Amino acid sequence: MSILLENHIVELLQERNDKAISLLYEHYGDTLYGVAYKVVRDEELAQDVVQESFVKIWKKADSYDPTKAKLFTWLFRITRNTAIDKLRSANTKSDKEIQMDVSDVYKLGTEGINPDLMDVQDNLDKLDLKYQVVLEALFFQGMTQQEASDELDIPLGTIKSRLKIGLRELKKLYGTSMLLIYLISCL
């Protein structure tokens, strides 16, 4: 995402121009839908989550502070929290129908992965599984580090270090390809 486009969207959001929503959807819709799906593991629920998240984004536009977080970080936080809340209320509504299956954390299936992003998926596969599991548990499953440690039966210290190393490894994997994407988007 180019800084210019990001700034433009933020401006539109704060002017309460609904073009902002259209632009946000075009640029982040797929990613946020993926995040929502990763958490709730149900397409219908994930769509509800995305819809609710966009309404929250629209309503809370005034509270976004660009000096504190990048636009995507803010969007991610809203979507992730909405998804976790949704999953919790869905779980209390029908405990049996939708259950957060802990064993899913280990399987990193290719369900619903966008073919356009297959090269990204290839890169993801390059990331050691042990890091992927920790990142997913923390980023998508709504677990605290302690919970992840309990669920995955990995010591807390290891969770902490795998989170750090996993994120660093990602940067190595994407350092070059992100630069390319950035250059292409600037052209």
Partner 1 sequence: MKEKIKIFLETDLLEKYLLGTTSQEETLQVERYIAMYPEVRTTYNELQDNLEVFAKMHSMKTPDGLKERIQNRIKSENTGRKRFFRYAIAASFTALLFAGASYFFWNQNQSLQEENLIVNTKIQNLEENMRIQLEDVRNQFIVLNNPKTKRLNVKGNSKAKELKAVAYINPVKKLSYINVSKLPNLPENQCYQMWAEVNGQMLNLGVIQEATDSEKLMALPYAENAVGYITIEPTGGNTSPTVENIVANISY
Residue ranges in contact with partner 1 by CB under 8 A: 1, 16, 18, 21-22, 25, 29-31, 33-35, 37-38, 43, 46-47, 50-51, 54-55, 58-59, 68-70, 72-73, 76-77, 80-81, 112-114, 117, 120-121, 123-124, 135, 138-140, 144-145, 160, 163-164, 167-168, 170-171, 174, 178
Cβ 96 to partner 1 shortest distance, Å: 26
Cβ 171 to partner 1 shortest distance, Å: 6
Torsions phi, psi for 98 (to 5 deg): -115, 120
Cβ 174 to partner 1 shortest distance, Å: 5
Of the candidates 96, 112, 95, the residue with the CA atom closest to the CA atom of residue 41: 112
d(CA 40, CA 48) in angstroms, rounded, equals 10
Give 68 or 96: the residue with its C-beta nearer to partner 1.
68
Cβ 184 to partner 1 shortest distance, Å: 14
Cβ 9 to partner 1 shortest distance, Å: 14
Give 38 or 130: the residue with its C-beta nearer to partner 1.
38
Residue 73 makes CB contacts below 8 A (sequence gap 6+) with none
Here the tokens at position 60 are 């809370």
Give 63 or 96: the residue with its C-beta nearer to partner 1.
63
**Burial of 1 from C-beta contacts in 10 A (0-12 / 13-18 / 19+):** middle
Percentage helix, strand, coil, to 5, in the chain? 75, 0, 25
Give 23 or 95: the residue with its C-beta nearer to partner 1.
23
Packing angle, helices 145-152 and 156-186, rounded to 10: 110
Give 70 or 96: the residue with its C-beta nearer to partner 1.
70
